[in-house]
Amino acid sequence: MRIFKEIKEAQGYIKKEKEKGRSVGFVPTMGYLHEGHLSLIREARKRNDLVVVSIFVNPAQFGPKEDYKRYPRDLKRDERLARASGADIIFYPSVRGIYPDGYQTYVEVTDITERLCGKSRPGHFKGVATIVTKLFNIVQPDIAYFGQKDAQQAIVIKRMAGDLNMDLKIRVMPIVREPDGLAMSSRNRYLSDRERSDAPVLYDSLNLARRLIKSGCRDTNRIKNDMKRLIKSKKGARIDYISISDLRNLRELKRIKKEALIALAVRIGKRRLIDNMIVGGRI
């Protein structure tokens, strides 16, 4: 496995591989890899000749009060895990390399980025769309892999790739969970024992929604209220949002007809956790 820190070197190497007719699968990450990331790398390994994993903690997608500085970083650990899962290349650029002095260009997806997480994280998706566009330009992947855990991010990136005629496929892979249902996330390591024991309530509330829908309930207010009640039974939990929306445009639904995204963000102590479930469709 090769590690490239310089953009030009990574770009040059991948370009030559593509000229030999090799397909490129790409897994963009912010590092501190967990099973969720590794499932994407393994999937990329199955379907592509060359597997590129980027590790870049992107300052442009963190708000001023968010955890950019504290975000976990451990290249040695990531290297070992990425290699064991089948990566050929780790692209590990510097902040200076990605955003040199005088940098002024951003990519903005409208409307769908203002909903759900976009409400409490203004500017977040602009940072994501910008870095993902830059990484796509550098790596030139045939297929890029994202996790459904960040469902809104996946929807935004698909929209952006379509709207900007980017010549690649976006694959969205299932959420990987801990045995008690907590969705895997690099940030889970910050949960205290108490927070960790409360955290599966997000998944429990999604399962409650699933049961209600299965029993015929289509009224999204009823489903949201029952989810709310369950989450509020945990003392340390504060709901940021519970949303039941159209899977394509993320507008809130009154009733579930065919497809829907049920998504939520909840603060457990100091940590903000997200989770989701898709009904009747896929991203």
Active site residues: 37
Burial class (CB in 10 A: 0-12, 13-18, 19+), 260: buried
Instruction: Specify whether the CB–CB gap between 126 and 38 falls below 8 A.
Output: no
Cα 244 → chain centroid = 18
Enumerate residues 83-122 that contact ligand PAF by CB under 6 A.
none
What minimum distance in Å lies between the beta carbon of 261 and ligand PAF? 17
What minimum distance in Å lies between the beta carbon of 61 and ligand PAF? 6
**How much helix, strand and coil, in percent to the nearest 5, is found in the chain?**
40, 20, 35
Give the tokens for residue 254.
């009154």
Interior/surface letters 148-185, b for 16+ CB within 10 angstroms, e for the rest? bbbbbbbbbbbbbbeeeebeeebbbbebbbbeebbbbb
Question: Is 131 a binder of ligand PAF (CB under 6 A)?
Answer: yes
Instruction: Specify whether the CB–CB gap between 78 and 55 falls below 8 A.
Output: yes
Enumerate residues 222-241 that contact ligand PAF by CB under 6 A.
none
Enumerate residues 263-282 that contact ligand PAF by CB under 6 A.
none
- Which span (25-33, 39-47, 137-145, 236-244) binds ligand PAF, by CB under 6 A? 25-33
Among 44, 128, 263, 268, binds ligand PAF (CB under 6 A): 128
- Which span (10-18, 23-31, 112-120, 174-182) binds ligand PAF, by CB under 6 A? 23-31
What minimum distance in Å lies between the beta carbon of 158 and ligand PAF? 12
What minimum distance in Å lies between the beta carbon of 222 and ligand PAF? 32
Among 17, 29, 109, 133, binds ligand PAF (CB under 6 A): 29
Q: At what angle do helices 201-214 and 220-232 cross, to 10 degrees?
A: 150
Question: Is 150 a binder of ligand PAF (CB under 6 A)?
Answer: yes
What minimum distance in Å lies between the beta carbon of 128 and ligand PAF? 5
Among 30, 53, 116, 175, binds ligand PAF (CB under 6 A): 30
Cβ-based neighbour number of residue 210 at 10 Å: 14
- Phi, psi for residue 74 in degrees, rounded to 5: -160, 85
In terms of Cα–Cα distance, which of 161, 152, 68, 145 is closest to 112?
152
Distance CA 161, CA 163 (A): 6
Of 61 and 243, CB closest to ligand PAF? 61
x-marked contacts with ligand PAF along 49-88 as a string, rule CB under 6 A? ---------x--x---------------------------
Q: Which residues of the shown chain bind ligand PAF in the complex (CB under 6 A)?
A: 28-30, 58, 61, 128, 131-132, 150, 153
